[in-house]
Structures are given as C-alpha cells and as structure tokens.
Structure 1
C-alpha cells in the first residue's frame, strides 16, 4: 500500500470520530463557542507539529501564492466548520456526517476542472454512488 493511502485511512478514522466527540462537547454551549475551542486546540497542535517537523530553510520557499491559496483554503474550511458544527449541534451526527461527505463529489469535480486531474471509471462510479447516497438520505 502506498504511504498516502495509509495517511488517508488514518485521516478517515480520526475525522469520523471528530463529529461524535464534537457532539458530546457541544452539550450546553453554542456551536460557535465549541468550534472556537476546537479550532484553538487544532491551531496549537498544528503549530507545534510544524515547529518540530518543518525545516527552518523551508520557510524561505514560502511564496505569496502559497500563502494566498492556503489562506483561501483556511477561509473555506472555517466556513465549512461553522456550518458543520451548527448542523451537528442541531441534527443527528450520523446524518450530518453522511451529507458532509458529499464534499467528496465537490472535490472530485473541482480537481478535474481546476487541477486538470483525470476522471476514470472508478472515480465516476464512486461519485455517482455518493450522490445516490445523498438522495437516499434526503428522502429518508
């Protein structure tokens, strides 16, 4: 198995657990406060990880384009998290998490249009199955 697949699988497990743990943490507080606490912890862990793992010389290779695109990614993630936490607070985690995974289809389409990645039968079939799952959830 290629290393990136292993990383993606670990990410999947932790991301799946995140929603359930967040729902427990939102008990009695607003989703906005919960997200602020969570994001603060994420910030501290990511900064500590970068401080340990990123060679100092790499900072010189950081460009304005890198910062701009990553900043936009951060804005998009923040907006996503704001709505995700509100949905988790008000709805069932099992349903919210399934709907949220529709983001895979958005990422697939944007990867093709923006990045020029190639579609294949497996990706198209997977995307169709995800959309079909969203339709089932919406009608359920």
Structure 2
C-alpha cells in the first residue's frame, strides 16, 4: 500500500484546505492595501518559500537543463497564474470571500472543458455530471 503522502488525493485535499485559508487570510490582508500590492507581497512570499523547499529537498536543477518547450509552457502558466491572482485579489477587495472563492473555483469546470478539448482527456458521464453540479453550486453561492 502506498504511503499516505504518495497519494494525489491527499495533496489535492491539502491544496483545497490551503486555498480556503488563502481566501480568508487574503480577504483580511487586502483590507488596508491595494489589491495589486497585496498580490505582490503574496508572490514574494511564495517565491521565497518555493526556493527554501527546493534547496531543502535537493530538487534545485540548473536552468539550462530545462527544455525550451518546458520553459515556454511554464512561462505561460506563470503569466496565467499572475493574472489569476491579480483578478482574485481584486475580487476579494470588492466582494465577500464566501462568494468570491466559489466563483474562482469555476476553474475546475474550465479545466475539465479545456482538458477534454485541448488535451484529449476523457471524462465519463458521471464526471460531466459532477462538472455541471460544480457549476450550479458556484452560481448558487454567488447569488
């Protein structure tokens, strides 16, 4: 049996828990500063934390060892992440965390659609029902 920390479900649940805390802490933290500046502070913290983890776990590798195609897609991912965070913090500045976060999680729906269209991933009818329920739930919470 795989160890608990080798299962993707554990890491996904941890991610969800930390994402929830992100919304709560960010909503409180963005009250007295511009949302873009709050995003900058968050980004610096993440950069430092990721660097510490890389060095502590021995996962650092020479940038030249990364293939060009990988650089391109990681650059695009970074740009998308930055845009997402800027929009998210602006939404938190303007709205309730309990309403902003579920709408933000419509990204789950978009990933399912993009995964099917762009990556050729196959979802079952049951999976698509789940996607529809997520969509409906986000809409209900946002109202």
> Would you call these one fold, judging by a TM-score over 0.5?
yes
Mark the runs of 5 or more structure 2 residues left unpaired by the alignment. none
Aligned to 1:86: 90
| Aligned equivalents of 2:52, 2:66: Cα separation in 1 | 18
Which segments of 5 or more consecutive residues in structure 1 lack a partner in the other structure? none
Query: 1:90 and 1:121 mapped to 2: Cα distance?
Result: 37
Q: Which moved more, 1:49-58 or 1:120-129?
A: 49-58
Q: 2-side partners of 1:23 and 1:135: how far apart?
A: 20
Residue of structure 1 in register with 2:38 after alignment: 34
Q: Kindly indicate whether residue 66 of structure 2 is the aligned counterpart of residue 62 of structure 1.
A: yes
Aligned residues: 139
Q: State the Cα distance separating 1:116 from its structure 2 match.
A: 1.5
Whole-Å Cα distance in 2 between the matches of residues 27 and 6 of structure 1? 32
Q: 1:93 to 1:47 in 2, by over 3 A?
A: same
What does residue range 100-139 of structure 1 map to in structure 2 within 5 Å? Answer: 100-138=104-142
- Partner of residue 100, structure 2: 96
Distance 2:53 2:44 in 1: 14
Distance 2:41 2:106 in 1: 26
| Aligned CA-pair RMSD | 1.8
Distance 2:103 2:112 in 1: 16
**What TM-score comes out, normalization by structure 1 length?**
0.90
Q: Is the 8 A contact 2:35 2:89 kept in 1?
A: yes
Deviation at 1:134, TM superposition (A): 3.1
Task: Tell which deviates more after alignment, 55-64 or 103-112.
Answer: 55-64
State the match for 2:55 in structure 1: 51
Structure 2 CA distance for partners of 1:88 and 1:59, relative to 1, 3 Å: same
